[in-house]
Amino acid sequence: MVQYSRTHFNASFSALSDATRRGVLEQLARGDASITDLADKFHMTLTGMKKHVGILEDAGLVTTEKVGRVRTCKLGRCHLEEEAAWIERYHQLWAARFDELDKVVDELKRKEKAVGRKKRD
């Protein structure tokens, strides 16, 4: 079984738990942006956006570079492969459980039809 770093996962999932931060990642996937541009896009203060970017940066999802007075953000090195693999493992587990549930439901429907036919006879 693959061992995952809890600290890394906690930081990643915590960062991704917020809609604004997910939006920032989507925006940065289109191209680099300054914190000012991001704050304007998301209608928030610079301080608020700096906090969001800091959380993303701590998780490795974003990197920043300061040139003069402008801090530019871009996607970080963390590509979420391990997180996606972890999610996929649970997706497969739940898919298998739902497949088994579908079989039970189909069997109950088949039995119900059979009982209905017997009552009519």
Region 53-73 average pLDDT: 95
For 18, which DSSP code? S
| Domain boundaries, position 32 | 6-75
- Degrees (nearest 5) of the Cα angle 44, 68, 71? 35
Residue 33 to residue 30: CA distance in whole angstroms? 9
Does 105 lie in the same domain as 67? Answer: no
Region 102-115 average pLDDT: 87
Q: Is 108 left (phi over 0), alpha (psi -120 to 50) or beta?
A: alpha
Which H helix or E strand runs over 74? strand 70-75
Does 95 lie in the same domain as 53? Answer: no
Total domains present in the chain:
2
Residue 1: pLDDT above 50? no
Q: What is the largest CA-CA distance in the chain?
A: 88
Task: Report if pTM > 0.75.
Answer: no
User: Which CATH number do you get for residue 59?
Assistant: 1.10.10.10
Please indicate, yes or no, if residue 27 is contained in any of the structural domains.
yes
Q: Select the more confidently predicted residue: 4 or 49.
A: 49
